[in-house]
Amino acid sequence: MRTHIQASLVEARNAVDQLLRNETALGTIEAAANLLMTAFDRGGRAFSCGNGGSMCDAMHFAEELTGRFRKNRPGMAAIAISDATHITCVANDYGYDQIFARYIESHGRSGDVLLAISTSGKSPSVLTAAQTAKDRGMHVIGLTGPKNSPLQALCDIQICTEAGEFADRVQELHIKVIHILIELIERRKFPSNYL
């Protein structure tokens, strides 16, 4: 059992090291943070969505912005599309692929940002949400695993965290990226928190 624990941790460390060496990925993380900061500066909002573990990441992203990340500061306008009544209503009436898009159609506006999370970059509900966001004049940041996924064509910025054979390593990098985005936003908007 200890061998499996160590192997898992080594694989996770290697995935982080691989991301750290990926200049393209680092640049997209920086660009995504700048896009989010600009939206907040202009009174825009950040929406986030994903399925399964990616929904958990979408919720974590939003709650760290509306609540507190490291130190006290004013809340920022972020919403995870995770309301069970909305999701089940839309899935029942329109189909599962519309669950996020219908929310964006109802609440999104030009200048807002959608963080669309899909480890494969192929999730129909996330793709439909990204298209709806683009149609409404919103910006789309895709957080995916592989490059050249269907989500890429709908994104202003796509952050790819290629790692390992399975989605768990990709998701581990996603939460690192999410924390980095929040930290960069805070450092710019609330620099006194980092003195």
Note down pLDDT in tens along the chain; length 195 residues. Answer: 999 999 999 999 999 999 999 999 999 999 999 999 999 999 999 999 999 999 999 999 999 999 999 999 999 999 999 999 999 999 999 999 999 999 999 999 999 999 999 999 999 999 999 999 999 999 999 999 988 999 999 999 999 998 877 888 999 999 999 999 999 999 999 999 999
β partners of residue 115? 48, 141
Do 5 and 157 meet the contact criterion of CB atoms below 8 Å apart?
Answer: no
Which strands, in side-by-side order, build the sheet including 113-117? 78-80, 46-49, 113-117, 139-144, 157-160
Q: Which helix (H) or strand (E) holds 115?
A: strand 113-117
Task: Please indicate if the annotation marks 53 as binding a ligand.
Answer: yes
> Which pLDDT value is given to residue 162?
87
Identify the domain containing residue 93 by its residue range: 2-194
Do 93 and 122 meet the contact criterion of CB atoms below 8 Å apart?
Answer: no
Task: Please indicate if the annotation marks 60 as binding a ligand.
Answer: yes
Number of domains in the chain: 1
Task: Please indicate if the annotation marks 44 as binding a ligand.
Answer: no
Task: Please indicate if the annotation marks 120 as binding a ligand.
Answer: yes
Task: Please indicate if the annotation marks 161 as binding a ligand.
Answer: no
Task: Supply 9's token pair.
Answer: 């941790």
Do 141 and 155 meet the contact criterion of CB atoms below 8 Å apart?
Answer: yes
As a three-state string, the secondary structure of 125-137 is HHHHHHHHHHHCC
Q: What is the pTM of this model?
A: 0.96
The rounded radius of gyration (Å) of the Cα atoms in the chain is 17
Task: Please indicate if the annotation marks 119 as binding a ligand.
Answer: yes
Task: Please indicate if the annotation marks 8 as binding a ligand.
Answer: no
Q: Which helix (H) or strand (E) holds 141?
A: strand 139-144
Looking up residue 23, the CATH number of its domain turns out to be 3.40.50.10490
Q: List all residues 6 or more positions away from 50 whose beta carbon is below 8 Å from its beta carbon.
A: 56, 57, 58, 116, 117, 118, 123, 126
> Which pLDDT value is given to residue 163?
83
Direct distance between the N- and C-terminal alpha carbons of the chain, in angstroms, rounded to an integer: 43
- CA distances 163 to 52, 124, 178, 182, Å, are 19, 22, 16, 22
Task: Please indicate if the annotation marks 54 as binding a ligand.
Answer: no
Task: Please indicate if the annotation marks 193 as binding a ligand.
Answer: no
